[in-house]
Amino acid sequence: MCRAYEDFIGWKIMIAIRNCMIVDPIKGPKSYKQDVIIEEDKILDIINSDSSISYESEIDIEGRLLFPGLIDIHSHFREPGQTYKESIETGSNAAAKGGFTTVVVMPNTLPPLDSVLNIARIESSINSSKIRVYLAPSITNKRDGSSLVDINAILSNFESMIFGFSDDGDFVQNGEIIKQALVKLDGKFPIMEHCEDLGIEYKNGTINHGKLSKKYNQIGRPVKAELNAVIRDLKLAKESNGWIHIQHVSTKEAIDQINNAKSDGINVTTEVTPHHIFLNENELIDNLDPTFKVNPPLRTQEDMQYCLKALKSGVIDVIATDHAPHSREDKIGKFIECQSGISWLENAFGLVSERLGYKIACQKMSYNPGKFFQNLGLNIGLIEKGYQADFFIIEDRNWNLESQKIESKSSNYIFKHGNGDLVNLRGKPILTFSSGKEVYNSGEVKSGNYA
């Protein structure tokens, strides 16, 4: 006998995603099929698939993998001011296509997101975004390092949009400002710091300090710039009991400091980018290709391996993409003059899965970053009863990112290796749901009859 699930649950809008192999952060893909029942924006229930139950609205994904929505706590959407590179709308489209359902955007916009007035410029774009977009307003006014923003005013107007505060792109030299901010935020929101204390000497550095800077006779960005900045911030976090989040860590020395601080009970978290775990300075050894110009720079092979090891062991909490869209003009010409950054939202998942597998991708791109949002009363990063209905369906096969098909306004993705071979990706997102709504559909799954 067929029974409708709706018969005994009630009248709210429900959708069932049927015959899912759910990916879990502890076990990886499960070996049996389940149905995920969504009510409005949340997961109402998960039950073992049973063909005797029928649902009014359903999508049968026929045993494909269902993955918790990815969370990127470090992206650049360039709005306001540089929407020729990306906007909140195009960045969200790229995110949804790549499996991301929550993104935190950085404040190095024009003008920077440093005040109630400037944040209000993007309020409606954020509210109409198809995925969840959080902000990291700047720590300092004009993002120039000289005075603390009005944290109280920003939080009283926009608290529900804020994840943390960051001057990303620059290190805040004045430790007193960071300490005041840490005290004020009291561990609820992180101070997210771009830890490179370059001073005047290394300010214009473009590549890793060492064999590369020597070979090309250019100013390098040294390990000690990252190390000194991390040491200072860990000390401030300890003194203030605040939450310090170290952005895009890239060196062995800094990771060792963070590891020790965690053992000492300091409230520190950290992230690493896909480029710092999969690429190193040898990409630039024969040719200064602007594709690989990033801040902090690609480091040595040993640093890269150490980052990967620290990610696996848990010293590094999450992978964050640092999705940094730039126009073609910004990324061509002389290495020393071109812009830094790589776009990642549409292929980060595929690359992490190809190199490290689905379980680690789930832990480091969904589950662990999801834990950061519990402070804000949001349950994301896991497919479980009561969590937000954020997930994506993947086709478990190899694929490549095609430059003609990207959603981002900028195309500074890494499509090929140096030898011209396409970069292999694993697991193609084909249908994405954010808060119970379809936000991307490649057309490969029949949507069925649902609202």
Least separation, in Å, of the C-beta of 382 and Zn ion?
A: 28
> Which residue number, 168 or 233, has a Cβ lying nearer to Zn ion?
168
Residue 167 binds to Zn ion (criterion: CB under 5 A): no
Q: Which residues, including other chains, have CB under 8 Å from residue 124's CB and lie 6 or more apart?
A: none
Going from the C-alpha of 415 to that of each of 224, 403, 419, the distances in angstroms are 32, 7, 12
Which residue type, as a one-letter code, is found at position 31? S
**Segment lying near Zn ion (by CB under 5 A), choices 111-119, 156-164, 168-176, 273-281:** 168-176
428, β-bridge pairs: 395
Strands (E), 209-292: 220-221, 244-246, 268-272
Which residue's CB is nearer to Zn ion, number 79 or number 193? Answer: 193
Name the one range near Zn ion by CB under 5 A: 87-95, 186-194, 200-208, 365-373: 186-194
> Interface with Zn ion by CB under 5 A: which range of 24-32, 167-175, 206-214, 328-336?
167-175
Q: Which regions of 189-240 does DSSP assign to beta strands (E)?
A: 191-193, 207-208, 220-221
Catalytic site includes residue 317: no
The nearest distance, CB 10 to Zn ion, in angstroms, is 47
> ∠ CA(165), CA(169), CA(172), 5° rounding?
60
CB of 367 to Zn ion, least distance (A): 24
- By CB under 5 A, the residues from 351 to 380 that bind Zn ion are none
Residue whose CB is less far from Zn ion, 25 or 91: 91
In the complex with Zn ion, the residue whose CB is nearer, 224 or 437, is: 224
Residue type, 163: F
Which segment (23-31, 187-195, 271-279, 340-348) binds Zn ion by CB under 5 A?
187-195
Interaction of residue 168 with Zn ion, rule CB under 5 A: yes
In the chain, the amino acid numbered 398 is N
Determine the Cα–Cα distance for residues 247 and 269; give it in Å rounded to an integer: 9
233 in contact with Zn ion (CB under 5 A): no
By CB under 5 A, how many residues form the interface with Zn ion? 2
Which candidate, 241, 308, 298, 259, places its Cα nearest to that of 275? Answer: 298
194 binds Zn ion per the rule CB under 5 A: yes
Strands 100-105 and 53-54, by their bridges, are: unpaired
- Dihedrals phi, psi of 21, to nearest 5 degrees: -100, 100
Minimum CB distance to Zn ion, residue 104 (Å): 12
Q: Which residue is nearest to Zn ion (CB)?
A: 194
Instruction: Pick between residue 168 and residue 330 the one whose CB is nearest to Zn ion.
Output: 168
Mode of pairing for the β-strands spanning 425-434 and 391-399:
antiparallel
Q: How far is the CB of 172 from Zn ion (least distance, A)?
A: 12
Identity of the amino acid at 219: I
Residues 321 and 82: beta-carbon distance below 8 Å: no
Q: What is the DSSP letter of 323?
A: B
Asked if 197 interacts with Zn ion (CB under 5 A), we say no
CB of 238 to Zn ion, least distance (A): 23
Please identify which of the residues 72, 303, 322, 390 carries the catalytic annotation. 322
User: Strand pairing partners for 68?
Assistant: 391
Positions that interact with Zn ion (CB under 5 A): 168, 194
Catalytic machinery residues: 322
